[in-house]
Chains A and B, each alone.
Chain A
Amino acid sequence: MNAVIEAEHLRKTFGLLVAVDDLSFSVAAGECFGILGPNGAGKTSTIRMVYAFSPPSGGTLHVLGLDITRQARAVKSRIGVCQQENNIDPDLTVLQNLEVFARYFNIPVAEATRRSRELLGFMALDHRENSRAVDLSGGMIRRLVMARALLNRPELLILDEPTTGLDPQSRHQVWERLEELRANGLSILLTTHNMDEASRLCDRLIIVDRGRLLVEGKPAELVSRHVGRHFGHRLIVDVEDGAALYREIEERFCDNGGCVMRMATLEDVFLRLTGRELRE
């Protein structure tokens, strides 16, 4: 298999806290791979190791075939990263933000400007080229950060919760762009706790909690494998004509719309595996 990421027995500790515990996964070229988990599950710690931001405490990690601990600079020059924070330069214009960032990759000035304009077009930001970045809306800033991550024409794009805090419209815009990138063959690694996002974008995903791998597979497979029949107070029934059965159940057992019918979703898988309590 042509793997862009190969993580084996990956481990990350901060003092006594074990953030990532014996995590193994691999991402194939051209694949969109998701890491799902509640807050504090170790998602960010994991991908920070993948983009050579923080050194693993144990295990081995190869990105684009390179050993992350020994060839970090080579890896970093070939990947694109969208961190969780919108760490743009607020004092600079949209275009300047990209041009300044391109210098970190030693991209020549003329080429940097050309690519910046092209990416602003792709991210539907070309009309705001000369706006100060601080004046952009949250969704636009997010797209600017994505454009910035594509400047070095990465072979792997890494996104840490790309749509957290965005309104539905901006979220869909980000998803469309990511789908287009994926269709063009870019490998993508993302973390999320948005189940729609995972089922829409990811070819394959893992769910982690407390630093450990819970499950791995394709979104649809996971749903049918893990949330089959009963779920808490829910009755999940697999029938051809659900609507008729639902009407009957409702008439006989539910007063004033106490029942709801819906399809099982990936969110059911997620909540079933990681529990329902809040993690604050």
Chain B
Amino acid sequence: MKLYPPLSSRFLRVWQRNWTVYRQSWKISFIPPLLEPLFYLLAFGVGLGTLVGNIRYGGTEIAYVRFIAPALIAITVMNSSFFENTYGSFVRMYYQKTFDAMMATPLTVEEIIAGEIIWGATKAVIATALMMVVISFFGLIRYPEGLLLLPLAFLGGLAFGAAGMVCTSLVPNIELFNLPVFLFITPMFLFGGTFFPVENLPGWAQTTAALLPLTHLVDLSRAFTNGRIDAGLLPGIGYLTVFAAITFPLALYKMRKRLIK
């Protein structure tokens, strides 16, 4: 049963629904993105940073705290969109039956899922904006280049959100999300050039890291935070764009398979 067109601007209605729900609890939703960078900057930047001192990155010496601040933003982009479109979307689909209710209205599955993924990306942008406020107090973001972090968060959010939605289309129960988190998210969190440069890893691990989306997101985030804008960023942007261009339609296709019975 196809509806034509399968994807119209009505996906915004699904986005709006999530926005309305989010506003109900914004006071709580705002706290993690504000406090998390504070904790990390304190623990790693100040605590660990005094041990580490400066590190070599991109041919220059930079303070450790300056090295990890952009990585924290990239990690938040990954986590907020991935978790929104796995646990969050799964609860709406499976427990609250929100998608079932929507599917009895003129909305199509494609619009519902597109709205969900774009909502996940929106949450990544909101979290990034809040973190930027905190990190800017430490003088760690250069403006106006730093504002590019916001569209970057959207692109990264689409990539990770769509990947999360593909997982949602596959898992039979919510516990199984541990698998992609353990095999995909945690390794990237640790080895994606976040807390130490990828160059410190052995060759094979560097190659593996270059295949992972977070590595590119961290690189781009570091560039924008430090005001570096050059052609060297294009491969990273290209990678994330292609990653999203594959996972996004795949998520729509797999969710149609799952939901239309």
Contact = CB atoms under 8 A, between A and B. Distances in A.
Nearest to A104: B105
Contacts of B261: 14, 54
A55 B104 CA distance: 13
Interface residues of B, number: 26
Contact of B104 (A69, A81, A92, A103): A81
B103 interface: yes
A263 B9 CA distance: 57
Contacts of A105: 105-106
B260 A92 contact: no
B1 interface: yes
Which among B3, B102, B107 has the greatest number of chain A C-beta atoms within 10 A? B3
B200 interface: no
A76 B20 contact: no
Given A73-B106, A76-B106, A87 B20 contact: no
B19 to A, nearest CB: 10
A87 B13 contact: no
Nearest to B17: A100
Contacts of B96: 87, 89-90
A72 B1 contact: yes
Contacts of A101: 101, 105
Contact of B1 (A52, A81, A83, A90): A52
A85 interface: yes
A270 interface: no
Interface in A94-121: 96, 100-101, 103-106
Nearest to A149: B104
Which among A51, A73, A83, A89 has the greatest number of chain B C-beta atoms within 10 A? A73
Interface in A119-172: 148, 152
A197 to B, nearest CB: 21
Interface string B1-45: 111100000100100110011001100000000000000000000
Interface residues of A, number: 30
A47 to B, nearest CB: 10
Interface in B99-133: 100-108
Contacts of B3: 72-73
Contacts of B17: 89, 100, 103
A19 to B, nearest CB: 10
Contacts of A104: 10, 13, 102, 105-107
B56 interface: no
A77 interface: yes
Main secondary structure, interface of A, reads loop
A106 B105 CA distance: 10
Interface string B131-154: 000000000000000000000000
A53 B112 CA distance: 14
A4 interface: no
Contact of A87 (B1, B25, B98): B98
A180 interface: no
A87 B13 CA distance: 17
A251 interface: no
Contacts of B2: 72
Contacts of B106: 73, 76-77, 104-106
B1 A69 contact: yes
Nearest to B1: A55
A37 to B, nearest CB: 19
B258 interface: no
B16 A100 contact: yes
A100 B107 CA distance: 13
A89 B1 contact: no
A87 B100 contact: yes
B20 A68 contact: no
Interface in A33-80: 51-55, 68-69, 72-73, 76-77
Contacts of B1: 52, 54-55, 68-69, 72
6 contacts: A54-B1, A77-B106, A87-B97, A87-B100, A89-B21, A103-B13
Pairs of residues from A and B, 9 with the lowest C-beta to C-beta distance, nearest first = A87-B97, A55-B1, A81-B104, A104-B105, A87-B101, A73-B3, A77-B106, A103-B13, A76-B106
Given A72-B1, A73-B4, A87-B97, 18 more contacts: A53-B103, A72-B3, A76-B104, A76-B106, A83-B101, A85-B97, A85-B100, A87-B96, A89-B96, A89-B98, A90-B96, A92-B20, A92-B21, A103-B13, A103-B16, A103-B17, A104-B13, A106-B106
